[in-house]
A and B are shown apart, each in its own frame.
Chain A
Amino acid sequence: YSLFPTRPKWVSSVVTYRVVSYTPDLPRVRVNQLVAKALAMWSQEIPLSFRRVLVGTADIMIGFARGAHGDYYPFDGPGNTLAHAFAPGPGLGGDAHFDEDERWTDGSRRGVNFLITATHELGHSLGLGHSSDPKAVMYPTYRAGDPRNFKLAPDDIEGIQKLYGEKST
């Protein structure tokens, strides 16, 4: 695993998030469920919890966009770059963006699995960089898998606990 330079992390034990825009590929309620599921994967390993807000500015702003979308990292159409996210911090920090030109799926049809991609991007939102372990969720290239068996790899857990410590039982 790797961490960003200066190891940015959230200092509050409760981090807020908001889904500001949706994809027409999935029902809104499904996107909300999958984002919550992705965040839960991380929060069950560390002493951090997440609270969804419906209005205003959250720590982690999540959305779908195509092409240039105001952060100097334009998306590139179908394929290649699927999404990106920013390390913890103010403003754009922590925000996660998904390329609307991909065909997003929850596993019920062909396309890019949103749960797998969101878990990866939210790993960046929490302060993890890319891992060179091919089994890690934080490996940079996308590979489709069975979302029912999808979980963090030991390398992901070691990385996130390096930043935030272990969740007390």
Chain B
Amino acid sequence: LPLPREAGGTSEPQWKQAQDYLRRFYPSDPKTREADSFEARLKLMQRFFRLPVTGVLNPHTIEIMQKPRCGVPDVAE
């Protein structure tokens, strides 16, 4: 199957890496089920890092995902 629109033309390894990143650092809220989809989590991340909120993976977003960082999520768990 082709990668979804949110993958923004990235490679499959980058897509998988992005999914893992968003699962770890932008977990969904079990009460509200907010940020359940990839697009919703990506928008949260883009908003946090003050990027254009598109919900689509782009090279700048991937660049931030690849930076060394703290292991604590960016949104409340």
Chain A residues in the interface with B (C-beta under 8 A):
2, 4-5, 73, 75, 79-85, 112, 117, 120-121, 124, 129-130, 132, 134, 140-142
B67 contacts A by Cβ under 8 Å: yes
**Contact-size category for B:** 10 to 19
With A132-B48, A132-B49, A132-B50: A142-B67 Cβ-Cβ less than 8 Å:
yes
Give the docked Cα–Cα distance between A92 and B72 (Å).
14
A132-B48, A132-B49 are contacts. A142–B68 as well, Cβ < 8 Å? yes
Q: A83 to B71, Cβ gap below 8 A? A: yes
Q: Residue B72 contacts which of A80, A112, A129, A142 (CB distance < 8 angstroms)?
A: A129
Partner of A82, one of B48, B50, B70, B76: B70
22 A–B pairs (Cβ distance < 8 Å), ordered by A: A4-B76, A5-B76, A73-B71, A80-B68, A81-B70, A82-B69, A82-B70, A83-B70, A83-B71, A84-B72, A112-B68, A129-B72, A129-B74, A130-B48, A130-B73, A140-B25, A140-B70, A141-B67, A141-B68, A141-B70, A142-B69, A142-B70
- The number of inter-chain residue pairs (CB within 8 angstroms) is 56
Cβ-closest 4 pairs across A and B = A84-B71, A81-B71, A141-B67, A142-B68
List A contacts of B69 (CB < 8 A). Answer: 80-82, 140-142
Query: What is the 8 Å Cβ interface bit string for chain B, positions 52-77, against chain A (1 contact, 0 not)?
Result: 00000000000010011111111011
Q: In the assembled complex, which residues on chain B have CB atoms less than 8 Å from the CB atom of A120?
A: 70
Given contacts A4-B76, A5-B76, A130-B74, whether A82 and B68 have CB atoms under 8 Å apart is yes
User: How far apart sit A98 and B23, CA to CA, in the bound complex (Å)?
Assistant: 21
Task: Determine if A140 and B50 form an interchain contact, defined as CB atoms under 8 angstroms apart.
Answer: no
Contact A130 B68 (CB under 8 A): no
A52 to chain B: closest CB distance in Å? 23
Identify which of B71, B74, B77 gathers the most chain A CB atoms within 10 Å of its CB: B71
Nearest A-chain residue to B68, judged by Cβ: A142
* A83 neighbours in B (Cβ, 8 Å): 70-71
CA A69 to CA B49, docked complex, whole Å: 30
A84 and B48 contacting across the interface, CB-CB below 8 Å: no
CA distance A82 to B68 in the complex (A): 7
- Which residues of B lie under 8 Å from residue A142 when comparing CB positions? 67-70
Interface string of B15-55 (1 = CB under 8 A from A): 00000000001000000000000000000000011100000
